[in-house]
Amino acid sequence: MPVMTSLSLDDSPARVPFRTVLLSIVGLWLTYFLLTTLRGELVDLGFSTEAFWRRALATLAGAAITLGLWSILRLFDARAMWVKIVAALTISLPVALLIAQANQLVFASMEERVFARTVEQRGFSVRKDPSGDLLVDIPAAAMPGLPEGQTTTTTSSSSREVVTVAAERLQESYWNQIVEVAYGRYFMLLAWCALYLALLTGEKARRAERREQQALSAAKASELRSLRYQVNPHFLFNTLNSLSALVLTNKTAAAERMIQTISTFYRRSLADDPTSDVSLAEEIALQKLYLDIEGVRFPLRLVARYEIPETLADCQVPGMILQPLVENSVKHAVATSSGQVTITLAAREEYGRLVLTVADDGTPAPHAAAEPRPGYGIGLANVRERLEARFGNEATITAGIRPEGGYATELRLPLLHGHRYRNGHREAAE
């Protein structure tokens, strides 16, 4: 029985592959790491080695937190675009604060030492008192004025001033830094969210394209089945007529052989998927069965000849593609001729293509001589449509009267060795 195929469309929402998401996050934070490292080298705040590994740690933390952002954002993949945009704008804000907090934690113990080094380079000194206030010892000549929240105490031994920065002021500065860092990280995350939404839109476009291709493949498969099964009723009508003629003339032995041959023919012709290719050897064997059936009807007029090189026997062709052409030769040459007619089935390779020929040397009977051989009848149109559905512009068909007499039809197909094609997809031949 024919192998029936069904179209299975994936209705799940489009997803950006995890590998793509991971690469985009790594690319984002690697760029951040390289730029901040370059800035650190230009500013030269000292502690280069320690700053490098702390910066690497902060980068890894940022990448991990961004991955968490993606795990939340992907929940909105199937929603409308405006919903995804609002989600990105909203969720990125607390995530940016979290990244800023992680950054501050990584660099907290180092900031005081960087500050102390900077102060010492200017000739100042810095220390903390037991209450947590920051004390900066500054020469009086360098004190034009003090910012709000800072006080001074003049020492008795020298003209130096001690600037006291209250712990509350330090805590306020700490949160100001977090907000400032979070502000920058927020827009960096929004840039990544925009990239993610662009990737998601691309995946949706590819999913729609794949669905369209699946639908086109299904339509092509249906078309091929329809064209393939157009052949069978026509042939059955002719064979039943031939069988009826044998019965009416009491040729029971010939009728029995014909019934057996018809049974074998249909068993083989219906065994494969009508959309699949078969080997040239199988196709020729099937046409030999058909000509054997017609040979019972025309035992003296029909001669069949096969010119199929062994090297081309495994070439793949659409199943029963030669049947309408062979049937036309029987109908328009053998049946209308008073003499012997040879039908030739030949194959050859030419410029890397498979060339199949169905030819006859028949001469129409006098009452049919004025009628041209149908070059665009049902059978020939069927073959043309099947070739177009199967190969597109890669296959051609030509037909016409031969110079030496008779009629020939030539098919030029892609040369496919040892592979089947089902529904337009290539698979290894069994």
Q: State residue 19's pLDDT score.
A: 92
3-state class (DSSP) for residue 79: coil
Q: State residue 46's pLDDT score.
A: 62
Element (H, E) at 240: helix 167-248
pLDDT tens-digit map of 361-373: 987 544 444 444 5
Residue 228 scores a pLDDT above 70: no
Return the CATH number at 416.
3.30.565.10
- pLDDT confidence of 264, banded at 50, 70, 90? confident
Residue 214 scores a pLDDT above 90: no
Residue 30 scores a pLDDT above 90: yes
Within 13 Å of residue 232, how many CA atoms lie on the same side as its CB?
Answer: 15
**Lowest mean pLDDT: which of 31-45, 78-92, 279-293?**
31-45
The structural domain count of the chain equals: 2
Residue 182 scores a pLDDT above 70: yes
Q: State residue 336's pLDDT score.
A: 84
Same structural domain, 49 and 115: yes
Residue 184 scores a pLDDT above 60: yes
- pLDDT confidence of 160, banded at 50, 70, 90? low
Question: Of 159, 181, 209, which residue constitutes the final position of a domain?
Answer: 209
- The boundaries of the domain holding residue 198 are 18-209
Same structural domain, 93 and 192: yes
Same structural domain, 377 and 296: yes
Show the DSSP H helices in 11-122 as ranges: 18-43, 48-73, 81-121
Question: Of 182, 209, 236, which residue constitutes the final position of a domain?
Answer: 209
Q: State residue 85's pLDDT score.
A: 92
Residue 382 lies in a domain: yes
Question: Of 209, 243, 275, which residue constitutes the final position of a domain?
Answer: 209
Residue 346 lies in a domain: yes
More confident residue, 411 or 133: 411
Q: State residue 28's pLDDT score.
A: 92
Q: State residue 253's pLDDT score.
A: 82
Same structural domain, 119 and 261: no
Same structural domain, 189 and 277: no
Q: State residue 367's pLDDT score.
A: 43
Residue 297 scores a pLDDT above 60: yes
% of the chain beyond a pLDDT of 90: 28
Residue 216 lies in a domain: no
Same structural domain, 283 and 166: no
Same structural domain, 259 and 384: yes
Q: State residue 146's pLDDT score.
A: 47
Q: State residue 196's pLDDT score.
A: 92
Within 13 Å of residue 310, how many CA atoms lie on the same side as its CB?
Answer: 0
Same structural domain, 345 and 414: yes
More confident residue, 319 or 84: 84
Same structural domain, 84 and 190: yes
Residue 376 scores a pLDDT above 60: no
More confident residue, 117 or 55: 55
Q: State residue 383's pLDDT score.
A: 84
Cα 378 to Cα 373: distance, rounded to the nearest angstrom: 13
Q: State residue 425's pLDDT score.
A: 46
Same structural domain, 139 and 272: no
Q: Which amino acid is at 32?
A: Y
Q: What are phi and psi of 368, to 5 degrees?
A: -110, 5
Phi-psi region of 273 (alpha: psi -120 to 50; beta: other; left: phi over 0): beta
More confident residue, 423 or 324: 324
Residue 74 scores a pLDDT above 70: yes
Residue 337 lies in a domain: yes
Residue 5 lies in a domain: no
- pLDDT confidence of 179, banded at 50, 70, 90? confident
Residue 403 lies in a domain: yes
**Lowest mean pLDDT: which of 129-133, 260-264, 320-324?**
129-133
Residue 155 scores a pLDDT above 50: no
More confident residue, 323 or 153: 323
Residue 235 scores a pLDDT above 90: no
Tell me the pLDDT of the chain averaged across its residues.
76
Sign of the alpha-carbon torsion through 169, 171, 175, 178: positive
Same structural domain, 191 and 278: no
Cα 429 to Cα 314: distance, rounded to the nearest angstrom: 9
Same structural domain, 288 and 202: no
Residue 228 lies in a domain: no
Residue 157 scores a pLDDT above 70: no
Residue 274 scores a pLDDT above 60: no
Residue 230 lies in a domain: no
Q: With contact defined as beta carbons under 8 Å apart, do 54 and 32 qualify? A: no
More confident residue, 284 or 206: 284
Q: State residue 133's pLDDT score.
A: 57
Mean per-residue pLDDT, 410-420: 82
Q: Lay out the sheet containing 160-165: strands in order across.
A: 125-128, 134-139, 160-165, 150-154
